[in-house]
Amino acid sequence: MQSNLIRGNALRRTAGSGIVALAAALIVVVAAGAQTFPNKPVRIVTPGTGGGADVAARLIAPELSRNLGQQVVVDNRASGVIPGDIVSKAQPDGYTLLLTSSSHWLAQFMQDKVPYDAVKDFAPVTILVSAPNILVVQPSIAANSVADLIALAKAKPGELNYASIASGSPPHLAAELFKSMAGVNIVRVPYKASGGALSDVIAGQVQLMFPILSAGMPHVRSGRLRALAITTAQPSALAPGLPTVAAAGLPGYVSVAMFGIFAPAATPAPVIGRLNRDLVAAVRKDEIREKFFNAGVESVGSSPAELAAAMKTELTTLGQLIRRVGIRAD
């Protein structure tokens, strides 16, 4: 009996030692991988082709490649949850990254099956850039400020329409946030593309819209649309002289599309640190900053913690809005 107990204890000690040894070996492997990073090409997965994430990835890739000393490849995939699914399942070694916007972490509120957890399955790296919207109206509308528009909408509930592209897109969420905070009833008119939506606002078929700045400003400069405000927290050099929505009549309002870069969860901290340093250096380089500025986008370059905090805020505020309004993905 005693010998059996002795043998059992010995087996348990041996098994315990094996687990400790395995854990130690894994730590050594991870540490070694982090120390040699990067030693092969890096892939940035983006949703769709020609969209904001794709443009941002292609603008940043050459400079990041120089900083890392490795080729950086942009991998366009179908929009939706496919890019996030790919990166969440990739090896957590820093060689597969995701460049995406709020649609990535807000998808869980707009569709039933999302194959990843936007918080648990990813390691934030940086907010690369932000893209504001502007509030524009058809020039015949009797509103020269945000306050005027709110008063008009309250006087004519349900009579004003706003043009919107895809459900859950930044222009759509910007308008719904405006409706919610201002307490007004304006009716959504959905469009497949921004061009058609803007054309109908210009023609007076629809009264207002929250287009991305780069799409809306040319029509404002030509006089075909009247810009009332920009959706940023502070006035922006992207639209000189244009007040913020908050300052022009709706205090506390902010709606800006963030484009962030993520790695798979469990990517070693030294690798995240290296990626963050090189990405921030790239996006803040004067030449790159100017290219983004000309595209109607503001360079940011944040810490991983700042991206995590911004995402958490949107999960709360926009998540609640999406649920209350009942927004579903197209």
> Averaged over 58-71, what is the pLDDT?
96
Please indicate, yes or no, whether residues 121 and 264 belong to a single structural domain of this protein.
yes
Please indicate, yes or no, whether residues 147 and 292 belong to a single structural domain of this protein.
no
Which structure tokens are listed for 73? 């490849």
Q: What pLDDT is stored for residue 9 in this prediction?
A: 53
Residue 226 has pLDDT above 70, yes or no: yes
Q: What pLDDT is stored for residue 4 in this prediction?
A: 52
Please indicate, yes or no, whether residues 162 and 138 belong to a single structural domain of this protein.
yes
CA dihedral 70, 76, 82, 88 (to 10 degrees): 10
Please state the three-class secondary structure of 72-129 as a single string: EEEEEECCCCHHHHHHHCCCCCCCEEEEECCHHHHHHHHCCCCCCCCCCCEEEEEEEE
**Could you list the residue range(s) of the whole structural domain that residue 299 is in?**
41-129+259-325
| Contact of 254 with 159, CB cutoff 8 Å | no
Neighbours of 219 (CB within 10 A): 19
Percentage of the residues of the chain whose pLDDT score is greater than 70: 89
pLDDT, one tens digit per residue, over 93-119 is: 999 999 999 999 999 999 999 999 999
CA angle centred on 208, ends 226 and 196, rounded to 5°: 100
* Sign of torsion over alpha carbons 48, 51, 55, 57: negative
Residue 185 has pLDDT above 90, yes or no: yes
Q: Into how many domains does the chain fold?
A: 2
Q: What pLDDT is stored for residue 11 in this prediction?
A: 45
Q: Looking at the DSSP assignment, which residues form a beta bridge with residue 74?
A: 44
pTM of structure:
0.86
Q: What pLDDT is stored for residue 189 in this prediction?
A: 97
Which structure tokens are listed for 99? 């460049």
Is 158 within a domain? yes
Residue 124 has pLDDT above 90, yes or no: yes
Order of strands, sheet of 208-209, starting from the edge strand that comes earlier in the sequence: 187-190, 161-164, 208-209, 134-137, 226-230
Residue with the larger pLDDT of the pair 27 and 95: 95
Mean confidence (pLDDT) of the chain: 91
**How far is Cα 148 from Cα 156, in angstroms, rounded to an integer?**
12
Please indicate, yes or no, whether residues 139 and 216 belong to a single structural domain of this protein.
yes
Please indicate, yes or no, whether residues 125 and 138 belong to a single structural domain of this protein.
no
Q: What pLDDT is stored for residue 272 in this prediction?
A: 98
Query: Closest Cα to residue 165, out of 244, 257, 228, 235?
Result: 257
Is 235 within a domain? no
Residue 24 has pLDDT above 50, yes or no: no
Percentage of the residues of the chain whose pLDDT score is greater than 90: 84
Is 253 within a domain? no
Please indicate, yes or no, whether residues 288 and 321 belong to a single structural domain of this protein.
yes
| Contact of 73 with 20, CB cutoff 8 Å | no
Is 139 within a domain? yes
Neighbours of 169 (CB within 10 A): 20
What's the full length of the chain, in residues? 330
> 27-31, 124-128, 233-237, 301-305: which range is least confident on average?
27-31
